[in-house]
Chain A
Amino acid sequence: MKKLLSLLLAVLMLAGLTAVAEAPAGEGLLIGVVYKQSGNPYFQASVTGFQKAADELGFTFLHDGPDDGSSDGQIRIIENYISQGVDAIAVSANDPEALVSVLQEAKAAGIKVVSWDAAVVAAGRDLDVQPASAKSIGLTQLESIAQSIGYEGQLAIVSATATAPNQNLWISFIEEALNSDPAYANIEYVGTVYGDDEYTKSYDETLGLINLYPDLKGIITPTTAGAPAVAKCVLDEGKSIKVTGLTLASDMAEYIKAGVCDATFLWNPIELGYAASYAAVALVNGDITGAEGETYEVPKLGALTIETSTAVNEAGELVPTDGTISYLNKLNAFTVDTVDEWVNIL
């Protein structure tokens, strides 16, 4: 009897213990993270976010990106993840279409797919996680440069590659606002050139712009890789051109302090990776399915709502797609006052 009682007590205690120390939501999960290219500081920062979430949720993750930034390099990495039996794949795609087949195979194998930063088309994903809506990203930069140049003068854009889906969407909103918003009526938009996210090419394209338009007043450069080259070129030429864009703080501190940029912007890639992790874990655990109207909780960012994603059609209008998306809706401004606190983070 005594023995039985002690056994019963022991079982009860054990049950009590497990109830108290509840396992974190991501315990035992394996997530494969794919980014566009290895060696890019932006993606190194986002990996920090995945790490932070992994510490909190208890999952483990693998991360890799092709060294040449190619789609077939990403396909190789994803195929390796599938054979390793990951629970979820979080991917920032080099091409929105190219990864669809392999990601559909992943989904067929029961793997949840979250795209973050650069989306895969709806057929290849369960959910897309983005920092801020394309409209707000585009217009924030436009408003900033307009303030810098006093709402008049020539304006140009130095973008990444001609096919980069993010940049093209932001630019479409900037162009739309320039055409329709009376506040920008005195700004003359001279066009977009492509620096292909390479330092030298971005520098050369900027130099070309400066030579072609001697009265150029402002440049928007919505790409972290191209921005330092653009600002350096403006500084080297000694022109009074203002530059804004999406940039890392560490790359641009010098130019912000030199007065070339009044403010540059970026979401927080750490938070982006962090939120993508929470989305992936919620999908794997079945808390969400990636359908419109669902919400998932991310510490410090609150409840993120899943909505229908949008895309630009051939007529240049924003139309809903069959995929879903959730926005963090947070954009940081780096100014001469705030840039120093971000230098070591971004």
Chain B
Amino acid sequence: MRTVRRALGPILRWESMLVVLLALICIVFNQRDASQQAAGLSRRDVFNFASIIRGLRPYMLYSFMTLGMMLILAMGEIDISTGASAALSLATLGVVYQGLTNAGMPNVPALILGLACCLLSGGICGALNGWLVTRFKELYSMIITLAMQLFFRGIAYLLLGGGTLTFRNDPVFDSLKKLYNTVAIGSVNVPVMLFWFAAPALVFTVWIHGTVSGRRIFALGTNRACAYFSGVRTDSIQFWMFALCGLMSAVTAIFFTGATSSSIRADAMGGYELYAIAAAVLGGFSTSGGKGSVPGVVLSLVIFGVMKIGLGTLYGFADSMVNLSVGVILIANTLLLGVGRFFPTGWGQGARRLRIKRGAALHPQGE
């Protein structure tokens, strides 16, 4: 059994399971699409490569937040305030831009300053979370960020006064909608967001899997005390990861403005933190920390997108039913990761070490 497992080791990764899951979903949906068309129930081929790539667009909105969230999960913490800090960053963008243009500043620098303030405000929200989490260690990050969620959302309502700020008729501000455009590559309309997402995804992959500072995040999540006594500055890492997560929420807010025709509301992006957590967890980041990989997260974002497109267009599931089925996948996935403990979910060094550790536990004398 052990030899079998060792031989299959590189294949039995969580990411491979995700690829299989994605392939299965695609096969089932494709069958459904073909049979729908054959029966004359649908008027066009709604499930093909081009339509999936194009259709992923609205589900990419929370992909940036997911990248931030996975860092928090890797440390064994959680941040449920990201949706609210994104809303607060969005409100900051709107209020700063409006204030500056009303004060007579030209639109372009006002927009640049507004975007900077938006990112800054997201970073500050995250840093505030990080400070509270490291300062009050007896409190769970769940509780702290729950409180901060209400706090941030409240400030956003205060800033906007419950109304909608709209800049759709402002050509400079409305150029943000280009972030949500698609570009035609061959016959495929590719969302621009895909390229914007590729950059941080690549950077994060190299950073958290390939550098010492990145792997310390996982070390912290695997065993905080052990990491601390090995010389890892746990508090400092935790603080900066929360700040970075807040920053990624602000990035989400900027793309959200592009999607919603430059209209800014305080109730925007409600529940996005749950989508982000769901995508990160399906990607292999367990809430107990210490494992997960960026490629897994990218795969899980695609799986969620494909699931929602397929269930909506092929099966006529209502929006609420789609969420239900995503919940079912998530539970199934958690059970697989939790009960099975079979698939290494790390990447690079971390994964190898994980396998060695498990081997050592099975055979106390060593292999």
Contacts and interface: CB of A to CB of B under 8 A. Distances in A.
Contact of B43 (A30, A66, A67, A102): A30
B351 interface: no
A80 B43 contact: no
B239 interface: no
Contacts of B258: 101
Contact of B263 (A39, A85, A95, A194): A95
B61 A72 contact: yes
B58 interface: yes
Nearest to B262: A97
B320 interface: yes
A73 B265 contact: no
A98 B44 contact: no
A70 B61 contact: no
A70 B270 contact: yes
Given A68-B271, A76-B319, A163-B163, A101 B58 contact: no
A163 B261 contact: no
Interface in A56-104: 62, 64-68, 70-73, 75-77, 79-80, 83-85, 95, 97-102
B118 interface: no
A112 to B, nearest CB: 16
Contacts of A75: 58, 259-260
Interface string B234-278: 000000000000000000000010111111010111110000000
A97 B166 contact: yes
A72 B309 contact: no
A343 interface: no
B318 A38 contact: yes
Contact of B319 (A66, A84, A98, A194): A66
Nearest to A64: B318
Interface residues of B, number: 41
Interface string B320-347: 1001000000000000000000000000
Interface in A192-242: 194
A162 B57 contact: no
B162 A76 contact: no
A34 to B, nearest CB: 10
A72 B269 contact: yes
A52 to B, nearest CB: 20
Contact of A68 (B42, B57, B270, B309): B270
B267 A101 contact: no
B46 interface: yes
Contact of B46 (A70, A83, A194): A83
Given A66-B319, A76-B319, A100 B51 contact: no
Contacts of A62: 316
Interface string A118-139: 0001011000000000000000
A30 B313 CA distance: 13
B256 A79 contact: no
A335 interface: no
A97 B256 contact: no
Residue among A30, A70, A123 with the most chain B CB within 10 A? A70
A73 B319 contact: yes
Contacts of A102: 259, 261
Given A70-B267, A76-B308, A79-B58, A97 B164 contact: yes
A196 to B, nearest CB: 9
Interface string B268-298: 1111000000000000000000000000000
A107 to B, nearest CB: 13
B164 A163 contact: yes
Interface in B174-190: 177, 180
A308 interface: no
B312 interface: yes
A249 B344 CA distance: 59
B55 interface: yes
B265 A77 contact: no
Contacts of B270: 68, 70
A64 B321 CA distance: 11
B32 interface: no
Contact of A67 (B59, B162, B269, B319): B319
B13 interface: no
Contacts of A72: 58, 61, 256, 259-260, 268-269
Given A79-B58, A80-B312, A85-B44, A97 B319 contact: no
Given A72-B260, A77-B312, A80-B312, A95 B57 contact: no
A67 B270 CA distance: 12
Residue among B54, B256, B267, B271 with the most chain A CB within 10 A? B267
Nearest to A86: B43
A305 interface: no
B357 to A, nearest CB: 42
A310 interface: no
Interface string A275-308: 0000000000000000000000000000000000
A84 B46 CA distance: 6
A70 B83 CA distance: 13
Nearest to B267: A70
B215 interface: no
Given A39-B320, A80-B309, A98 B43 contact: no
Interface in B137-194: 161-164, 166, 168, 177, 180
A194 B163 CA distance: 12
Nearest to A67: B320
B163 A162 contact: yes
Interface of A: 30, 38-39, 62, 64-68, 70-73, 75-77, 79-80, 83-85, 95, 97-102, 121, 123-124, 161-163, 194
Given A97-B164, A162-B161, 6 more contacts: A67-B323, A68-B271, A79-B57, A84-B44, A85-B44, A98-B261
20 contacts: A38-B318, A38-B319, A38-B320, A64-B312, A70-B267, A70-B270, A71-B263, A72-B256, A72-B259, A72-B268, A75-B259, A75-B260, A76-B58, A77-B319, A95-B265, A98-B260, A99-B260, A101-B180, A101-B258, A194-B162
Interface of B: 42-44, 46, 51, 54-55, 57-59, 61, 161-164, 166, 168, 177, 180, 256, 258-263, 265, 267-271, 308-309, 312-313, 316, 318-320, 323
Which 4 pairs between the two chains have the least Cβ-Cβ distance? A67-B320, A162-B162, A97-B263, A98-B260
